[in-house]
Amino acid sequence: MTLVLHRIDDRLIHGQVVVGWGQPLDIRFIVLVDDEVAASEWEQELYRMGVPPEMDVYFLNVARAVDELPRLRADTRQGILLTGDIDTMRRLVDSGGITSVNLGGIHHRTGRSQRLRYVFLNNDEESALREIAALGVSISAQDVPGARPVPLDDILAGVAS
């Protein structure tokens, strides 16, 4: 098996990831790619406390993730790759090997406008998503497995609600 979900979620590790996706997909490891978290032992411990003991968490900065992703994709277990923002995911997409991206949670912040209940974007973020899609990557929003995936085109066209 391999990385079965590439998710952008500004809450990083939380209930939807660990339980909502983790249990039905039998997720055994999470690759959390975030330069800030990768530089902080305290942040890593915080997130590690949130996962069950049978689930490994690897904390990587972007540069190291680019190097490590081929090895992680060869893992025999199922895993989730997680970033907290679009830019980080775009840098990973640029390194190759990612064919789909899940928008799991990009919440309200000044300058962003609401597209879905759990997706808020500013103009730069919208452009970045279009650029990722132009590379042939399938992008859809889906907070939990039971929800209907909303394609990027519908999100940006404002036809999703």
Partner 1 sequence: MSDRAPGENAKPVPRAIVAGHGDFASGLVSAVDVITGRGTQLIPVAVPGLCAEDIEKLIRERMTESGVKVIFTDLQAGSCTMAARRILRGADDAVLIAGVNLPTLLDFVFADQMPAIDAARHAAERGRGAISVVGAAGGGGGGGGGGGGVKQA
Where on the chain is the footprint of partner 1 (CB under 8 A)? 10-15, 17-19, 42, 46-47, 49-51, 105, 107-109, 117-118
b/e sequence 131-152, b meaning 16+ C-beta within 10 Å: ebbeeebebbbbbeeeeeebeb
Minimum CB separation of residue 95 from partner 1 in Å reads 26
Identify which of residues 108 and 130 has a Cβ nearer to partner 1 in the complex: 108
CB of 143 to partner 1, least distance (A): 11
Count the neighbouring beta carbons within 10 Å of the beta carbon of residue 29: 18
Distance in Å from the first CA to the final CA of the chain? 34
Structure tokens at 117: 């209940």
Report in angstroms how near the CB of residue 38 gets to partner 1 at its nearest: 17
Q: Measured from the CB atom, is 107 or 130 closer to partner 1?
A: 107
